[in-house]
């Protein structure tokens, strides 16, 4: 059981300050962040994205109590699924664009904090408040959840380009553009590998 030792206290204080700073910066540059632009939310409202999100979130939430992990329940499975859908496409895109030096450092910092809050920090605080101890699974959770978060960010960024076929939308200069969305039949070819990856990662917890 993860006790509240000085290192955990320091870690908790550290990422709490990081989140407060990120919120302040998000407000400060809200007009620049793609995350807050209407185009991004139109981009997320595509039917195939909403349907695949609903299926994935429902599956993760239903299976949560059967994994044998007492820290995984309906609540954290639900809010982590929602946070992933709402932020992963943007965070993954932002970090990719950072490699091309196309986004400022403030955006990179915010994306990293949003990523960590979605996959770990919110979960850690929830377990701490619910059970009174720091979750012993905090480190493996960062790794596993980050893999799923990254995969989700790639998956929900898939788009169709005339003459090029299926591409990652954030590699195009007009990202995010809801006009280039895929059809359900095209999505299936990419959804199946993602589903297999998720199953492989989750299966050990269900056995």
Which pLDDT tens digits describe the chain residue by residue (207 residues)? 556 788 889 999 999 999 999 999 999 999 999 999 999 999 999 988 998 899 889 888 888 777 777 788 899 999 999 999 999 999 999 999 999 999 999 999 999 999 999 999 999 999 999 988 898 889 988 998 999 999 999 999 988 877 777 888 899 888 998 887 777 677 677 767 776 776 676 666 555
- The strand ranges marked E within 30-83 are none
Secondary structure of residue 159 in the 3-state scheme = strand
What's the CA gap between 131 and 166, in Å, rounded? 45
- Contacting residues for 42 by C-beta, under 8 A, at least 6 apart: 176, 178
Classify residue 2 by its DSSP letter.
B
| Global pTM value | 0.90
Bridge partners of 62, per DSSP, are none
What's the CA gap between 50 and 52, in Å, rounded? 6
CA 186 to chain centre: 23
Please answer whether residues 117 and 83 qualify as being in contact, where contact means their C-beta atoms are separated by less than 8 angstroms: yes
Secondary structure of residue 94 in the 3-state scheme = helix
Strands 165-168 and 158-161: antiparallel
pLDDT of residue 31: 95
* Every domain of the chain and the residues it spans: 6-206
Identify the sign of the CA torsion 101, 102, 104, 106: negative
């Amino acid at each position: 059981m993860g006790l509240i030792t000085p290192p955990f206290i320091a870690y908790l204080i550290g990422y709490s300050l990081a989140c407060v700073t990120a919120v302040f910066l998000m407000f400060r540059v809200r007009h620049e962040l793609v995350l807050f632009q209407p185009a991004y939310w139109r981009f997320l409202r595509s039917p195939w994205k909403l349907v695949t999100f609903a299926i994935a979130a429902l599956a993760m939430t239903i299976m949560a109590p059967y994994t044998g992990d007492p820290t995984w329940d309906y609540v954290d499975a639900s809010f982590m699924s929602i946070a992933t859908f709402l932020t992963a496409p943007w965070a993954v895109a932002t970090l990719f664009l950072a490699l091309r030096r196309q986004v400022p450092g403030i955006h990179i910092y915010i994306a990293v904090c949003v990523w960590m809050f979605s996959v770990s920090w919110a979960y850690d605080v929830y377990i701490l408040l619910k059970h009174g101890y720091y979750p012993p699974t905090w480190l493996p959770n960062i790794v596993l959840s980050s893999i799923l978060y990254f995969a989700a960010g790639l998956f929900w960024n898939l788009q169709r380009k005339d003459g090029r076929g299926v591409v990652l939308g954030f590699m195009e200069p007009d990202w995010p553009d809801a006009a280039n969305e895929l059809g359900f039949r095209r999505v299936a070819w990419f959804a199946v590998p993602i589903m297999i990856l998720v199953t492989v990662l989750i299966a050990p917890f269900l056995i």
